[in-house]
Amino acid sequence: MNDKAVRILLVSMPISDLTVEGAQKYLYDTRAIVNVPYGLLTLCSYVKKYAGRKVEFRIVDINDHLVTQYRLGRMIGDAQAHFEEFVAAEAGKYEPDVVGISVMFNVGYRFLGRVAAGIKKAAPGAFLIVGGNLATVLHREIAAEAAVDAVVFGEGELPLLGLAESGDIPAYVRTDPAFVTRESLAAGIKPVNKTLADLDSIPPIDFNCTDLSNFNLPKQKGTVYKKDFDKKMVSRIIYTSRGCPFNCNFCAGFNVHGKKVRSMSLERVVGDVREMVDKEGLTELFVCDDSFLFDKKRAKLILNEFVKMGIHVNFPALLMRNIDDEVAELLARLGNTFQYTSLESGSDHVLRHVIQKPITKEEAKRAVLSLRKYGISVLANIVVGSPGETDEHRKETLETLDDIGFNWVFFMIALPVPGSRLYAECKENGYLVDDSFFSPSLTKCNIRTPSYAPAHIERQTYMMNLHTNFIHNYSLRAGNYDECIVSFKNVLNAYPGHAFAHYGLAKAYEGKGDHGQALENRKKFDELTAGSRYWQDWAEFFKLR
């Protein structure tokens, strides 16, 4: 065994646009345990266990760094420049043999060229590689960057292990088809995704490789998250499977993890979580894999084991059509009072023929009834604006949402992510407004079709939001007034001048019999709509004036 340690610096790129005003506050407001750089932690744990030589890792997470500065009251004027300087300085101090940059999303690609160049200048002896979802899809473009030595194609555990063990990193990269270089592209070599066949081979994640103080789980306050750190909670995250067999038009994750679902064994999952409980005092667990409920029998066995441990378990996403009474009861016993679901559309035509989401309206309704039966409020995502969706389909979606009755619905505009079917369709037909890959926004439309302009989709999306969450709010209709009050106040915390939040509060207080608060909020609604043409137009649209 070689005694000289290989030093590897891993860089987690921004998850939001650092060029916009208030970038630090946005990161703080949206920071949660699910933002832990789990993929990088997996690489650290895997390579450390199996490498035939000593390997040292350091993770640099600019998102975490900027949140820390915000919590300390240090406001940074130019977050992008600070990011570039911070990463370069860390690279210079660490003197790495290898720097790996994780580019998962469009926004990270925006900063890649300058960050890579700064790292190369600060640590000229380091071999610089780039990996992640977007890096796999855009391997040709990223390999062309002057400061980039290679791109990891697909999953990174096996390629990084081989690189770390090699005595000659550039020579090894030339022999491994999981690495894409300018030379391999010129030679026409087809890259290979070296996926892990056995997920049980991944060691338990060592969370000590990152600072978890900024990743506490925000406690749920109503149907909209409010950032509220609870220092008594010990929160962790886990993925128990990889891969998804479905073909949703907006998804690009299959490019890395494939269509076949690979799962950890029941014994391995239970053992890892039991160790978190016994050694770290785990109280809150987030299970984040998209395909957790794909094998419903396995999932129920795991959920029953979690119940025995007495911990709270949360699921950012669950396969909606596989939620039944038994699953709902287990979720309730795990302390789950709110469950996110991904319906995407309330039109069976759009679900089947446009998005190709494996669910129907009736299956969604059965799932919601099961969850509600056990006291679980249900939140849903709706994606608006895919080519082929019409205003009639969107009207049908509103009718479906009114019928099913979600406690809160998050409306997002379809985002053409490179590597997705949606992106390929938009690219082929010339529908993309901006082909730069940089826009991460789910509230701005980047698709222009012969049928609909971006402005129309943006207005339709916001109309659907106001209709569902404020005018025809299910919790208001069901008489859950206290829940409504918390939710609408959370909206006002984020958007202080939101006229329709005051409208909702007025209705909720009226339902509670608090006529003073109802009158006060109605008055505020009237003032905001009278003083703003924007809110006045929406009030007139819904015939509230």
CATH number at residue 518: 1.25.40.10
pLDDT computed for residue 2 by the predictor: 57
Q: Render pLDDT for 221-268 as a digit per residue (tens, 0 to 9).
A: 445 544 455 556 788 889 999 999 999 999 998 999 999 999 999 999
528 and 381 part of one domain: no
* Percentage above 90 pLDDT, the chain: 77
Residue 217 has pLDDT above 80, yes or no: no
Pure H helices in 374-514: 391-404, 421-429, 454-466, 474-478, 481-494, 499-512
459 and 529 part of one domain: no
pLDDT computed for residue 14 by the predictor: 87
- State how beta strands 235-238 and 179-180 pair: unpaired
Residues in the chain, total: 545
Residue 200 lies in a domain: no
Q: Render pLDDT for 98-150 as a digit per residue (tens, 0 to 9).
A: 999 999 877 788 889 999 999 999 999 999 999 999 999 999 999 999 999 99
47 and 164 part of one domain: yes
142 and 19 part of one domain: yes
294 and 391 part of one domain: yes
390 and 244 part of one domain: yes
Residue 305 has pLDDT above 60, yes or no: yes
Structural domain containing residue 467 = 216-472
Residue 210 lies in a domain: no
Q: Which segment of 156-170, 233-247, 511-525 scores lowest on mean pLDDT?
A: 233-247
Residue 395 has pLDDT above 90, yes or no: yes
- State how beta strands 284-287 and 150-152 pair: unpaired
262 and 304 part of one domain: yes
Quote the CA–CA distance of 102 and 157 in Å, as a whole number. 13
Please give the average per-residue pLDDT across 351-362, as a whole number.
96
468 and 482 part of one domain: no
Residue 190 has pLDDT above 90, yes or no: yes
> What letter represents residue 144's amino acid?
A
Residue 131 lies in a domain: yes
What tokens were used for 509?
């207080």
pLDDT computed for residue 227 by the predictor: 43
Please give the average per-residue pLDDT across 459-471, as a whole number.
98
Last residue of a domain, one of 438, 472, 506: 472
* H/E segment holding residue 120: helix 106-122
Quote the CA–CA distance of 489 and 330 in Å, as a whole number. 30
> What letter represents residue 284's amino acid?
E
Please give the average per-residue pLDDT across 81-104, as a whole number.
94
Please give the average per-residue pLDDT across 477-500, as a whole number.
93
Last residue of a domain, one of 422, 454, 472: 472
Residue 123 lies in a domain: yes
Higher pLDDT, 448 or 220: 448
What tokens were used for 79?
């977050």
Residue 197 lies in a domain: no
Residue 454 lies in a domain: yes
Please give the average per-residue pLDDT across 319-348, as a whole number.
95
Residue 32 has pLDDT above 60, yes or no: yes
CATH number at residue 182: 3.40.50.280
Residue 73 lies in a domain: yes
Residue 194 lies in a domain: no
446 and 497 part of one domain: no
Higher pLDDT, 77 or 517: 517
529 and 439 part of one domain: no
pLDDT computed for residue 226 by the predictor: 45
246 and 133 part of one domain: no
What tokens were used for 27?
């990161």
Residue 15 has pLDDT above 90, yes or no: no
Apex CA 248: angle with CA 464 and CA 223, to 5°?
40
Higher pLDDT, 25 or 426: 426
Mean pLDDT, the chain, rounded, equals 91
Quote the CA–CA distance of 280 and 268 in Å, as a whole number. 17
Q: Which segment of 64-68, 79-83, 113-117, 411-415 scores lowest on mean pLDDT?
A: 64-68
Give the dihedral of Cα atoms 386, 392, 398, 404; nearest 10 deg.
-100
Q: Answer whether 0.85 is exceeded by the pTM.
A: yes
CATH number at residue 314: 3.80.30.20
pLDDT computed for residue 317 by the predictor: 83
Last residue of a domain, one of 451, 472, 493: 472
Q: How many domains does the chain have?
A: 3
> What letter represents residue 499's amino acid?
A
Report helix angle 481-494 to 499-512, nearest 10.
Answer: 160
Please give the average per-residue pLDDT across 474-492, as a whole number.
94
237 and 174 part of one domain: no
Q: Which segment of 86-90, 434-438, 480-484 scores lowest on mean pLDDT?
A: 434-438
pLDDT computed for residue 222 by the predictor: 46
